[in-house]
Amino acid sequence: MLTCKLCRKTFDGIPSDAVPVSQRRQGGYQLFQFKNGELHDLHEVRAPVLTQQQLIERGQRGAHSRYHTNKGSKREGCKYCFPGTAQAEEKKL
């Protein structure tokens, strides 16, 4: 999937009638003129590597390491300090 940096439209691919107007730049993007006269600066859209839940989990684990593991203080209720109790709490709910 491609997105235009100028107007934010998305395209499945470069249309066959699109004409390259400028030289390819360092990032690999190129300005194209479409048949209807529109100019688009297209670049590839990358899918996110991690889901939102995975990012939240990573942040929580980092906070645990920063505040509990590195300082040597365990906190009651932290699911990483006491993994068995956190699972028991979830089952009660």
Q: What are 37-73's pLDDT values in tens digits?
A: 999 988 888 877 888 899 998 898 888 888 887 777 8
Which tokens go with 13? 């691919």
Range 81-90 average pLDDT: 65
Q: Is the pLDDT of residue 6 over 80?
A: yes
Whole-angstrom CA distances from 62 to 25, 53, 56, 59, 77 are 38, 14, 10, 5, 16
Query: The whole model's pTM is what?
Result: 0.46
C-alpha 54/C-alpha 82 separation (Å) is: 20
Question: Residue ranges of the domains in the chain?
Answer: 2-44, 52-92
Q: What is the mean pLDDT of the chain?
A: 81
